[in-house]
Structure 1
Amino acid sequence: MTSSQITENRGWHASVAARLDQAETSGIAIEQFNDALTLDGAYSVQRELLSVRRKRGEQLSGAKLGFTSKAKMEQMGVDEVISGFLTDRMLIPPGTELSLSRLVHPRIEPEIAFRFKREIHPGTSYEEILENIDAVAPAVEIIDSRYRNFSFSLSDVVADNTSACRYALGEWVEFSKNLAGRAVTMLVDGTIVETGTTSAILSDPMLAIEAFARMNQKYGTSLPAGAVLLAGAATAAIPLEPSTEITAIVAGLGTVEIKISGDLA
Protein backbone atom coordinates (compact mmCIF):
# COMPACT_ATOMS: atom_id res chain seq x y z
CA MET A 1 0.00 0.00 0.00
CA THR A 2 1.42 3.39 -0.97
CA SER A 3 1.56 6.32 1.47
CA SER A 4 -1.12 8.13 -0.56
CA GLN A 5 -3.41 5.10 -0.21
CA ILE A 6 -2.71 4.98 3.52
CA THR A 7 -3.66 8.62 3.98
CA GLU A 8 -7.06 7.95 2.42
CA ASN A 9 -7.76 5.24 5.00
CA ARG A 10 -9.97 6.64 7.76
CA GLY A 11 -9.05 3.81 10.07
CA TRP A 12 -5.40 4.82 9.84
CA HIS A 13 -6.33 8.46 10.44
CA ALA A 14 -8.18 7.37 13.58
CA SER A 15 -5.11 5.43 14.76
CA VAL A 16 -2.89 8.48 14.20
CA ALA A 17 -5.38 10.58 16.18
CA ALA A 18 -5.33 8.01 18.98
CA ARG A 19 -1.52 8.14 19.14
CA LEU A 20 -1.54 11.94 19.25
CA ASP A 21 -4.25 11.95 21.90
CA GLN A 22 -2.27 9.49 24.01
CA ALA A 23 0.83 11.67 23.66
CA GLU A 24 -1.15 14.67 24.87
CA THR A 25 -2.82 12.96 27.82
CA SER A 26 0.38 11.23 28.94
CA GLY A 27 2.84 14.02 28.19
CA ILE A 28 5.09 11.57 26.32
CA ALA A 29 6.22 12.77 22.89
CA ILE A 30 5.96 10.59 19.79
CA GLU A 31 7.80 10.30 16.49
CA GLN A 32 6.77 12.44 13.54
CA PHE A 33 4.67 11.03 10.69
CA ASN A 34 6.22 13.23 7.98
CA ASP A 35 5.46 12.03 4.43
CA ALA A 36 3.02 9.35 5.61
CA LEU A 37 0.38 12.09 5.87
CA THR A 38 -0.90 14.40 3.17
CA LEU A 39 -2.27 17.77 4.19
CA ASP A 40 -5.86 16.62 3.58
CA GLY A 41 -5.12 13.48 5.56
CA ALA A 42 -3.78 15.60 8.41
CA TYR A 43 -7.03 17.56 8.58
CA SER A 44 -8.87 14.25 8.62
CA VAL A 45 -6.77 13.27 11.66
CA GLN A 46 -7.79 16.57 13.25
CA ARG A 47 -11.46 15.69 12.80
CA GLU A 48 -10.82 12.33 14.43
CA LEU A 49 -9.10 14.08 17.34
CA LEU A 50 -12.13 16.33 17.82
CA SER A 51 -14.35 13.26 17.81
CA VAL A 52 -12.21 11.66 20.55
CA ARG A 53 -12.46 14.80 22.68
CA ARG A 54 -16.21 15.05 22.19
CA LYS A 55 -16.63 11.48 23.34
CA ARG A 56 -14.86 12.51 26.56
CA GLY A 57 -17.45 15.24 27.04
CA GLU A 58 -15.54 18.21 25.66
CA GLN A 59 -17.44 20.84 23.70
CA LEU A 60 -16.20 22.77 20.69
CA SER A 61 -15.49 26.34 21.79
CA GLY A 62 -13.71 27.88 18.84
CA ALA A 63 -11.05 27.78 16.16
CA LYS A 64 -7.47 28.95 15.88
CA LEU A 65 -5.09 29.93 13.11
CA GLY A 66 -1.41 29.13 12.79
CA PHE A 67 1.45 30.30 10.58
CA THR A 68 0.01 33.81 10.46
CA SER A 69 3.47 35.40 10.23
CA LYS A 70 5.24 35.76 6.90
CA ALA A 71 8.47 34.43 8.42
CA LYS A 72 6.80 31.24 9.62
CA MET A 73 5.08 30.71 6.25
CA GLU A 74 8.43 31.04 4.48
CA GLN A 75 10.08 28.68 6.97
CA MET A 76 7.44 26.01 6.35
CA GLY A 77 7.24 26.66 2.59
CA VAL A 78 3.54 27.51 2.53
CA ASP A 79 1.44 30.46 1.38
CA GLU A 80 -1.66 29.79 3.49
CA VAL A 81 -2.38 29.67 7.18
CA ILE A 82 -3.32 26.47 8.97
CA SER A 83 -6.29 26.02 11.28
CA GLY A 84 -7.25 23.99 14.32
CA PHE A 85 -10.01 23.68 16.89
CA LEU A 86 -10.50 24.74 20.51
CA THR A 87 -12.59 23.04 23.18
CA ASP A 88 -14.01 24.23 26.47
CA ARG A 89 -11.46 22.22 28.43
CA MET A 90 -8.61 24.11 26.76
CA LEU A 91 -9.84 27.40 28.22
CA ILE A 92 -8.02 28.53 31.37
CA PRO A 93 -10.61 30.23 33.60
CA PRO A 94 -9.57 33.53 35.23
CA GLY A 95 -7.75 32.99 38.51
CA THR A 96 -6.88 29.38 37.70
CA GLU A 97 -3.27 28.22 37.82
CA LEU A 98 -1.99 26.17 34.90
CA SER A 99 -0.01 23.07 35.77
CA LEU A 100 2.73 22.06 33.36
CA SER A 101 2.28 18.45 34.41
CA ARG A 102 1.94 16.16 31.38
CA LEU A 103 2.74 18.97 28.94
CA VAL A 104 5.52 18.19 26.49
CA HIS A 105 7.01 21.42 25.09
CA PRO A 106 4.75 24.19 26.44
CA ARG A 107 5.21 27.65 24.96
CA ILE A 108 3.04 30.76 25.17
CA GLU A 109 2.28 33.52 22.69
CA PRO A 110 0.08 36.64 22.77
CA GLU A 111 -2.84 36.85 20.35
CA ILE A 112 -6.11 38.58 19.56
CA ALA A 113 -9.41 36.72 19.96
CA PHE A 114 -12.66 37.39 18.09
CA ARG A 115 -16.07 36.25 19.35
CA PHE A 116 -18.99 35.08 17.19
CA LYS A 117 -22.50 35.99 18.30
CA ARG A 118 -24.17 33.33 16.15
CA GLU A 119 -23.33 29.84 14.89
CA ILE A 120 -20.80 29.66 12.08
CA HIS A 121 -21.14 26.86 9.54
CA PRO A 122 -18.54 25.59 7.06
CA GLY A 123 -18.97 27.60 3.88
CA THR A 124 -20.22 30.71 5.68
CA SER A 125 -19.00 33.68 3.65
CA TYR A 126 -16.41 36.15 4.87
CA GLU A 127 -19.05 38.89 4.89
CA GLU A 128 -21.39 36.82 7.07
CA ILE A 129 -18.57 35.87 9.43
CA LEU A 130 -17.58 39.52 9.75
CA GLU A 131 -21.16 40.49 10.55
CA ASN A 132 -21.26 37.83 13.28
CA ILE A 133 -18.25 39.18 15.23
CA ASP A 134 -19.47 41.12 18.24
CA ALA A 135 -16.37 41.44 20.42
CA VAL A 136 -12.57 41.26 20.52
CA ALA A 137 -10.19 40.53 23.40
CA PRO A 138 -6.51 40.14 24.20
CA ALA A 139 -5.59 36.48 24.50
CA VAL A 140 -2.72 34.09 25.07
CA GLU A 141 -2.36 30.64 23.60
CA ILE A 142 -0.28 27.83 25.04
CA ILE A 143 1.06 25.67 22.25
CA ASP A 144 2.54 22.25 22.94
CA SER A 145 3.73 20.07 20.10
CA ARG A 146 3.36 16.40 20.88
CA TYR A 147 6.33 15.47 18.67
CA ARG A 148 9.86 14.78 19.83
CA ASN A 149 12.25 17.72 19.86
CA PHE A 150 9.49 20.20 18.95
CA SER A 151 10.15 19.30 15.31
CA PHE A 152 7.47 18.67 12.69
CA SER A 153 6.44 18.87 9.06
CA LEU A 154 3.43 20.85 7.83
CA SER A 155 1.19 17.79 7.87
CA ASP A 156 2.51 16.75 11.29
CA VAL A 157 1.54 20.02 12.93
CA VAL A 158 -1.89 20.09 11.27
CA ALA A 159 -2.61 16.54 12.45
CA ASP A 160 -1.54 17.60 15.95
CA ASN A 161 -4.28 20.25 15.88
CA THR A 162 -1.69 22.96 15.15
CA SER A 163 -0.06 22.29 18.55
CA ALA A 164 -3.14 23.70 20.34
CA CYS A 165 -3.05 23.14 24.10
CA ARG A 166 -4.67 25.86 26.24
CA TYR A 167 -5.83 29.46 25.89
CA ALA A 168 -6.84 32.34 28.14
CA LEU A 169 -8.86 35.45 27.39
CA GLY A 170 -8.87 39.00 28.71
CA GLU A 171 -11.99 41.13 28.95
CA TRP A 172 -14.14 41.35 25.85
CA VAL A 173 -14.55 44.80 24.30
CA GLU A 174 -16.70 46.03 21.44
CA PHE A 175 -15.44 44.83 18.07
CA SER A 176 -13.49 47.36 16.02
CA LYS A 177 -11.85 46.90 12.64
CA ASN A 178 -9.01 49.19 13.68
CA LEU A 179 -6.72 46.47 15.00
CA ALA A 180 -3.46 46.80 13.03
CA GLY A 181 -0.35 48.39 14.47
CA ARG A 182 -1.26 47.99 18.14
CA ALA A 183 1.69 47.43 20.45
CA VAL A 184 1.87 43.99 22.08
CA THR A 185 3.96 43.28 25.17
CA MET A 186 4.52 40.01 26.99
CA LEU A 187 5.97 39.91 30.50
CA VAL A 188 7.14 37.13 32.80
CA ASP A 189 6.98 38.04 36.48
CA GLY A 190 6.82 41.70 35.49
CA THR A 191 9.83 41.63 33.18
CA ILE A 192 9.30 42.29 29.47
CA VAL A 193 10.37 39.26 27.42
CA GLU A 194 8.73 39.92 24.03
CA THR A 195 7.40 42.97 22.20
CA GLY A 196 5.71 43.32 18.84
CA THR A 197 2.61 44.63 17.16
CA THR A 198 -0.68 43.19 16.00
CA SER A 199 0.51 43.80 12.43
CA ALA A 200 2.58 40.62 12.82
CA ILE A 201 -0.73 38.81 12.33
CA LEU A 202 -0.94 38.69 8.52
CA SER A 203 -0.06 42.45 8.52
CA ASP A 204 -3.56 43.15 9.93
CA PRO A 205 -5.65 40.92 12.24
CA MET A 206 -8.66 41.66 10.04
CA LEU A 207 -7.01 39.56 7.35
CA ALA A 208 -7.08 36.64 9.78
CA ILE A 209 -10.87 36.69 9.47
CA GLU A 210 -10.57 36.32 5.69
CA ALA A 211 -8.10 33.47 6.16
CA PHE A 212 -10.43 31.78 8.64
CA ALA A 213 -13.30 32.02 6.14
CA ARG A 214 -11.20 30.20 3.53
CA MET A 215 -10.02 27.50 5.92
CA ASN A 216 -13.47 27.03 7.45
CA GLN A 217 -14.97 26.49 4.01
CA LYS A 218 -12.43 23.79 3.21
CA TYR A 219 -11.76 22.07 6.53
CA GLY A 220 -14.00 23.59 9.20
CA THR A 221 -16.84 22.34 11.33
CA SER A 222 -19.81 24.27 12.69
CA LEU A 223 -18.91 26.58 15.57
CA PRO A 224 -21.54 27.38 18.21
CA ALA A 225 -22.72 30.86 19.11
CA GLY A 226 -20.21 32.39 21.51
CA ALA A 227 -17.27 30.56 19.93
CA VAL A 228 -13.92 32.32 19.63
CA LEU A 229 -11.32 32.64 16.92
CA LEU A 230 -7.67 32.99 17.92
CA ALA A 231 -6.14 35.04 15.12
CA GLY A 232 -2.49 34.03 15.48
CA ALA A 233 0.63 35.06 17.36
CA ALA A 234 1.74 38.68 17.60
CA THR A 235 5.24 37.83 18.91
CA ALA A 236 7.50 34.81 19.11
CA ALA A 237 6.40 32.11 21.55
CA ILE A 238 8.38 31.68 24.75
CA PRO A 239 8.88 28.47 26.79
CA LEU A 240 6.83 28.22 29.98
CA GLU A 241 8.49 27.68 33.34
CA PRO A 242 6.90 26.61 36.66
CA SER A 243 5.96 29.17 39.32
CA THR A 244 5.73 32.15 36.99
CA GLU A 245 3.13 34.73 36.06
CA ILE A 246 2.58 35.67 32.43
CA THR A 247 1.04 38.97 31.35
CA ALA A 248 0.15 39.95 27.79
CA ILE A 249 -0.87 43.52 26.97
CA VAL A 250 -2.45 44.62 23.69
CA ALA A 251 -2.58 48.40 23.43
CA GLY A 252 -6.13 49.70 23.40
CA LEU A 253 -7.63 46.26 24.07
CA GLY A 254 -6.43 45.29 27.50
CA THR A 255 -4.50 42.68 29.45
CA VAL A 256 -4.66 38.95 30.05
CA GLU A 257 -2.78 37.15 32.82
CA ILE A 258 -2.16 33.54 33.75
CA LYS A 259 -0.24 31.93 36.59
CA ILE A 260 1.87 28.81 36.13
CA SER A 261 1.88 26.53 39.16
CA GLY A 262 5.02 24.98 40.57
CA ASP A 263 3.51 21.48 40.30
CA LEU A 264 5.27 19.24 37.81
CA ALA A 265 4.06 15.94 39.24
Structure 2
Amino acid sequence: MNAVNDNSEALAQQAIGLMELTSLNADDTQERIIALCQRALTPVGDVAAVCVLPRFAGLARRTLDNLRARDVKVVAAVNFPGGSPMIASVESETQAAILAGADEIDLVYPFHALLGGNKHIGGEMIAACKAKCTRRASLTITLETGVLRDPQMIYGVCRVAIQEGAGFLKTSTGKQIISATPQASRILLEAIAETGAHVGLKASGNVRTLAEAQVYMEQASARFGDFWLEQGRLRLGATSLLDDLLLHLGVGS
Protein backbone atom coordinates (compact mmCIF):
# COMPACT_ATOMS: atom_id res chain seq x y z
CA MET A 1 0.00 0.00 0.00
CA ASN A 2 1.31 3.45 -0.90
CA ALA A 3 1.88 5.40 2.30
CA VAL A 4 0.04 8.48 1.05
CA ASN A 5 -2.90 7.64 -1.16
CA ASP A 6 -6.49 8.54 -1.91
CA ASN A 7 -7.90 5.98 0.47
CA SER A 8 -9.16 8.07 3.39
CA GLU A 9 -9.52 5.06 5.67
CA ALA A 10 -5.92 3.96 5.15
CA LEU A 11 -4.72 7.52 5.59
CA ALA A 12 -6.74 7.99 8.78
CA GLN A 13 -5.40 4.72 10.17
CA GLN A 14 -1.85 5.85 9.47
CA ALA A 15 -2.44 9.31 10.94
CA ILE A 16 -3.63 7.84 14.25
CA GLY A 17 -0.24 6.20 14.67
CA LEU A 18 1.45 9.59 14.19
CA MET A 19 -0.64 11.50 16.69
CA GLU A 20 0.38 13.16 19.94
CA LEU A 21 -2.73 13.55 22.05
CA THR A 22 -2.28 16.76 23.98
CA SER A 23 -3.59 18.35 27.17
CA LEU A 24 -1.60 21.40 28.24
CA ASN A 25 -4.07 23.52 30.17
CA ALA A 26 -3.41 25.36 33.40
CA ASP A 27 -6.54 23.79 34.91
CA ASP A 28 -5.72 20.20 33.92
CA THR A 29 -6.61 17.61 36.55
CA GLN A 30 -5.50 14.07 37.25
CA GLU A 31 -8.84 12.81 35.96
CA ARG A 32 -8.37 14.66 32.68
CA ILE A 33 -4.90 13.24 32.15
CA ILE A 34 -6.04 9.70 32.94
CA ALA A 35 -8.86 10.12 30.42
CA LEU A 36 -6.37 11.41 27.85
CA CYS A 37 -4.21 8.32 28.31
CA GLN A 38 -7.22 6.05 28.01
CA ARG A 39 -8.23 7.80 24.80
CA ALA A 40 -4.76 7.21 23.39
CA LEU A 41 -5.67 3.54 23.01
CA THR A 42 -8.27 3.58 20.25
CA PRO A 43 -10.16 0.55 18.90
CA VAL A 44 -8.13 0.88 15.70
CA GLY A 45 -4.68 1.32 17.21
CA ASP A 46 -2.70 3.41 19.66
CA VAL A 47 -1.49 6.95 19.09
CA ALA A 48 2.24 7.69 19.17
CA ALA A 49 2.33 9.77 22.34
CA VAL A 50 0.56 11.92 24.88
CA CYS A 51 1.86 15.40 25.65
CA VAL A 52 1.26 16.83 29.13
CA LEU A 53 2.64 19.38 31.55
CA PRO A 54 5.66 18.19 33.58
CA ARG A 55 3.66 17.78 36.78
CA PHE A 56 1.56 15.10 35.07
CA ALA A 57 4.39 13.16 33.43
CA GLY A 58 4.53 10.54 36.15
CA LEU A 59 0.77 10.05 36.22
CA ALA A 60 0.64 9.68 32.45
CA ARG A 61 3.45 7.12 32.39
CA ARG A 62 1.91 5.06 35.21
CA THR A 63 -1.52 5.18 33.59
CA LEU A 64 -0.23 4.04 30.21
CA ASP A 65 1.87 1.32 31.82
CA ASN A 66 -1.18 0.07 33.71
CA LEU A 67 -3.03 -0.01 30.38
CA ARG A 68 -0.17 -2.09 28.94
CA ALA A 69 0.67 0.71 26.53
CA ARG A 70 4.38 1.10 27.22
CA ASP A 71 5.03 1.98 23.58
CA VAL A 72 2.93 5.14 23.83
CA LYS A 73 5.43 7.86 24.68
CA VAL A 74 4.93 10.48 27.39
CA VAL A 75 6.05 13.94 26.29
CA ALA A 76 6.51 16.66 28.92
CA ALA A 77 6.22 20.25 27.68
CA VAL A 78 8.70 22.49 29.51
CA ASN A 79 9.00 26.27 29.37
CA PHE A 80 5.38 26.17 28.23
CA PRO A 81 3.74 28.19 26.81
CA GLY A 82 5.56 31.50 27.08
CA GLY A 83 9.11 30.48 26.22
CA SER A 84 10.81 32.12 29.20
CA PRO A 85 14.55 32.88 28.96
CA MET A 86 15.19 31.36 32.42
CA ILE A 87 17.54 28.45 31.81
CA ALA A 88 17.64 27.30 35.44
CA SER A 89 13.86 26.90 35.47
CA VAL A 90 13.98 24.83 32.28
CA GLU A 91 16.69 22.59 33.72
CA SER A 92 14.63 22.01 36.85
CA GLU A 93 11.44 21.24 34.93
CA THR A 94 13.28 18.90 32.60
CA GLN A 95 15.03 16.94 35.32
CA ALA A 96 11.82 16.53 37.33
CA ALA A 97 9.85 15.36 34.29
CA ILE A 98 12.48 12.78 33.32
CA LEU A 99 12.72 11.44 36.84
CA ALA A 100 8.92 11.14 36.87
CA GLY A 101 8.97 9.00 33.74
CA ALA A 102 8.80 11.29 30.70
CA ASP A 103 10.14 9.66 27.54
CA GLU A 104 10.50 12.94 25.68
CA ILE A 105 10.97 16.59 26.59
CA ASP A 106 9.32 19.30 24.51
CA LEU A 107 11.11 22.61 25.08
CA VAL A 108 9.47 25.87 24.05
CA TYR A 109 12.23 27.98 22.52
CA PRO A 110 12.65 31.45 24.16
CA PHE A 111 11.17 33.19 21.14
CA HIS A 112 10.49 36.53 22.82
CA ALA A 113 14.17 36.82 23.78
CA LEU A 114 15.19 36.16 20.19
CA LEU A 115 12.78 38.79 18.90
CA GLY A 116 14.29 41.16 21.46
CA GLY A 117 17.74 40.67 19.94
CA ASN A 118 19.22 37.92 22.13
CA LYS A 119 20.62 35.48 19.60
CA HIS A 120 22.49 33.30 22.09
CA ILE A 121 20.03 32.37 24.85
CA GLY A 122 18.18 29.87 22.67
CA GLY A 123 21.21 27.77 21.90
CA GLU A 124 22.37 27.91 25.50
CA MET A 125 18.94 26.79 26.73
CA ILE A 126 18.73 23.92 24.27
CA ALA A 127 22.22 22.74 25.23
CA ALA A 128 21.36 22.89 28.94
CA CYS A 129 18.12 21.01 28.42
CA LYS A 130 19.82 18.42 26.22
CA ALA A 131 22.40 17.83 28.94
CA LYS A 132 19.60 17.01 31.39
CA CYS A 133 18.03 14.62 28.89
CA THR A 134 21.33 12.75 28.35
CA ARG A 135 20.28 9.40 26.88
CA ARG A 136 17.15 9.05 28.95
CA ALA A 137 14.81 11.23 26.88
CA SER A 138 14.70 12.69 23.41
CA LEU A 139 14.31 16.43 22.93
CA THR A 140 11.80 18.39 20.86
CA ILE A 141 12.22 22.11 20.23
CA THR A 142 9.00 24.08 19.75
CA LEU A 143 9.79 27.13 17.66
CA GLU A 144 6.52 29.11 17.82
CA THR A 145 6.81 29.86 14.11
CA GLY A 146 3.63 31.94 14.05
CA VAL A 147 5.30 34.51 16.29
CA LEU A 148 8.80 34.39 14.80
CA ARG A 149 7.29 34.64 11.30
CA ASP A 150 10.48 35.62 9.45
CA PRO A 151 11.58 32.59 7.38
CA GLN A 152 15.28 33.32 7.85
CA MET A 153 14.87 33.62 11.60
CA ILE A 154 12.92 30.36 11.76
CA TYR A 155 15.53 28.63 9.63
CA GLY A 156 18.31 29.94 11.86
CA VAL A 157 16.61 28.60 14.98
CA CYS A 158 16.19 25.23 13.27
CA ARG A 159 19.90 25.06 12.53
CA VAL A 160 20.82 25.92 16.11
CA ALA A 161 18.33 23.38 17.50
CA ILE A 162 19.67 20.63 15.25
CA GLN A 163 23.26 21.50 16.12
CA GLU A 164 22.49 21.29 19.85
CA GLY A 165 20.93 17.84 19.57
CA ALA A 166 17.19 18.23 18.96
CA GLY A 167 15.37 15.05 18.03
CA PHE A 168 12.31 16.86 16.67
CA LEU A 169 11.47 20.36 15.46
CA LYS A 170 7.93 21.45 16.27
CA THR A 171 6.00 24.24 14.60
CA SER A 172 4.15 25.76 17.54
CA THR A 173 2.56 25.42 20.97
CA GLY A 174 -0.96 25.80 19.61
CA LYS A 175 -1.50 28.69 22.03
CA GLN A 176 -0.87 31.51 19.54
CA ILE A 177 -3.16 32.99 16.89
CA ILE A 178 -1.02 31.42 14.16
CA SER A 179 0.02 27.84 14.82
CA ALA A 180 1.09 25.16 12.36
CA THR A 181 1.15 26.21 8.71
CA PRO A 182 2.41 24.36 5.64
CA GLN A 183 4.75 27.29 4.98
CA ALA A 184 6.40 26.93 8.39
CA SER A 185 6.69 23.16 8.21
CA ARG A 186 8.34 23.49 4.82
CA ILE A 187 11.10 25.61 6.39
CA LEU A 188 11.62 23.05 9.15
CA LEU A 189 11.79 20.21 6.65
CA GLU A 190 14.26 22.13 4.53
CA ALA A 191 16.54 22.73 7.52
CA ILE A 192 16.40 19.03 8.38
CA ALA A 193 17.19 18.08 4.78
CA GLU A 194 20.09 20.49 4.42
CA THR A 195 21.79 19.38 7.63
CA GLY A 196 21.24 15.71 6.88
CA ALA A 197 20.40 15.17 10.54
CA HIS A 198 18.19 12.41 11.90
CA VAL A 199 15.61 14.89 13.16
CA GLY A 200 11.84 14.66 12.90
CA LEU A 201 8.99 17.14 12.40
CA LYS A 202 6.03 17.80 14.66
CA ALA A 203 3.14 19.76 13.15
CA SER A 204 1.14 21.13 16.06
CA GLY A 205 -1.77 23.53 16.39
CA ASN A 206 -4.86 23.77 14.18
CA VAL A 207 -4.46 20.26 12.79
CA ARG A 208 -8.07 19.23 13.27
CA THR A 209 -9.10 17.20 10.23
CA LEU A 210 -7.79 14.37 8.11
CA ALA A 211 -7.45 16.79 5.20
CA GLU A 212 -5.24 19.10 7.29
CA ALA A 213 -3.15 16.18 8.55
CA GLN A 214 -2.73 14.93 5.00
CA VAL A 215 -1.04 18.19 4.00
CA TYR A 216 1.82 17.59 6.45
CA MET A 217 2.04 13.90 5.68
CA GLU A 218 2.33 14.63 1.97
CA GLN A 219 4.91 17.36 2.58
CA ALA A 220 7.12 14.98 4.53
CA SER A 221 6.66 12.19 2.01
CA ALA A 222 7.44 14.47 -0.94
CA ARG A 223 10.62 15.76 0.71
CA PHE A 224 12.02 12.52 2.12
CA GLY A 225 9.96 9.58 0.89
CA ASP A 226 7.21 7.42 2.32
CA PHE A 227 9.56 5.86 4.89
CA TRP A 228 9.36 9.17 6.79
CA LEU A 229 5.72 8.57 7.65
CA GLU A 230 6.38 6.88 10.98
CA GLN A 231 6.22 8.21 14.52
CA GLY A 232 9.97 8.52 14.91
CA ARG A 233 10.02 11.05 12.07
CA LEU A 234 6.61 12.72 11.89
CA ARG A 235 4.12 13.60 14.61
CA LEU A 236 0.77 15.36 14.48
CA GLY A 237 0.24 17.30 17.68
CA ALA A 238 -3.49 17.55 18.22
CA THR A 239 -6.45 16.28 20.18
CA SER A 240 -9.57 17.14 18.21
CA LEU A 241 -7.99 15.51 15.14
CA LEU A 242 -8.65 12.09 16.64
CA ASP A 243 -12.43 12.59 16.42
CA ASP A 244 -12.20 13.21 12.66
CA LEU A 245 -9.89 10.29 12.08
CA LEU A 246 -12.14 7.90 13.97
CA LEU A 247 -15.11 9.23 12.01
CA HIS A 248 -13.39 8.29 8.75
CA LEU A 249 -12.81 4.83 10.20
CA GLY A 250 -16.40 4.44 11.32
CA VAL A 251 -15.50 4.30 15.00
CA GLY A 252 -17.16 6.37 17.71
CA SER A 253 -14.75 8.52 19.76
TM-score by length of 1: 0.27
Higher strand share: 1
Greater helix share, 1 or 2? 2
TM-score in terms of structure 2 length:
0.28
